Amino acid sequence: MPEMGERAKKILALLRRSGPLSAPAIFARLEEPITLRTLQADLKRLREAGLIAATIGSRATVYQAAGRAG
């Protein structure tokens, strides 16, 4: 991943602090005025870069920092 933007850094820090979260839960905790679609795009880029992992559940996809057992 090219240089990580400030929002991506905040998302990654949030996942490291909080553990596994769904996109709506991350969205609720961010202090930036963004859309859920923008957040989902950021999560996709972080996942493609190997910085976070996604687990698809029956009701929601849950994201966590890579290497973190959850």
Q: Could you state, in order of their start, the residue ranges of all structural domains in the chain?
A: 6-65
Instruction: State what percent of residues in the chain have pLDDT above 90.
Output: 77
- Residues of 25-47 as b/e, b for ≥16 C-beta within 10 angstroms? ebbeeeeeeeeeeebeebbebbe
- The tens digit of pLDDT for each residue in 14-70 reads 999 999 999 999 999 998 889 999 999 999 999 999 999 999 988 889 999 997 554
Indicate if the pLDDT at residue 1 is higher than 50: no
What per-residue confidence (pLDDT) applies to 61? 93
**Model confidence, pTM:** 0.86
Q: Which of the four CATH numbers 3.40.50.2300, 1.20.1440.230, 3.30.300.30, 1.10.10.10 does domain 6-65 have?
A: 1.10.10.10
